[in-house]
Amino acid sequence: MATMQYTEIAMQPGKRLALVAHDNKKADLLDWARTHRDQLAGHRLCATGTTGRLLEAELGVAVERFQSGPLGGDQQIGARIVEGEIDFLVFFWDPLEPQPHDPDVKALLRMAVVWNIPMACNRATADFLVSSPLMAAGYVRRVPDYGGHLARPIAG
């Protein structure tokens, strides 16, 4: 069995954070962001549509906004992760409420794992991650080298 190779990607002290919340979790995310306003201020924030608008109003900071999740915002954030333009994902998703765009949600979570970015899906994890000394420091993230996957033979 071949050993997995890795690429190292440097994350700067000012991280690029994506913040996403389902409708039933928006109040939780806003409360969390209010609690951690000072820690978030040193980072570049982006969010899906309504969540971004609410965060800008609540925190008084600039938030790059994508489309609403069901209109493609989750996929826009996933693409930014693949392009190396997002370092960290906070996604308060509602496990008890089916979403019409569940495949997009699953794809976004998958991209965060594939590209090995820190991800918090609930408040406790988000608290731990944003409070980590690594948030304010540089960090070298190891990403699997998917060259073997890309070079695999294609069955015809």
Check pLDDT > 70 for residue 48: yes
The 3-state DSSP class for residue 36 equals: coil
| Residue at 84: amino acid letter | G
Read off the DSSP letter of residue 132: S
Q: What is the mean pLDDT of residues 25-50?
A: 95
Q: What's CA 137's distance to the chain center, in Å? A: 18
What is the distance between the terminal CA atoms of the chain, rounded to a whole angstrom? 25
Q: What is the pTM of this model?
A: 0.90
Rounded to whole angstroms, how far apart are CA atoms 116 and 102?
A: 21
Per the listing, tokens 């997009």 go with 104
Which active-site residues does the annotation give?
74
Q: Does domain 14-138 have CATH number 3.40.50.620?
A: no
Rounded to whole angstroms, how far apart are CA atoms 144 and 7?
A: 6
Q: For 33-47, 88-102, 112-126, which range has the lowest pLDDT when averaged over its residues? A: 88-102
Residue 15 binned pLDDT confidence (cut-offs 50, 70, 90): very high
The 3-state DSSP class for residue 138 equals: coil
pLDDT at residue 148, rounded to an integer: 67
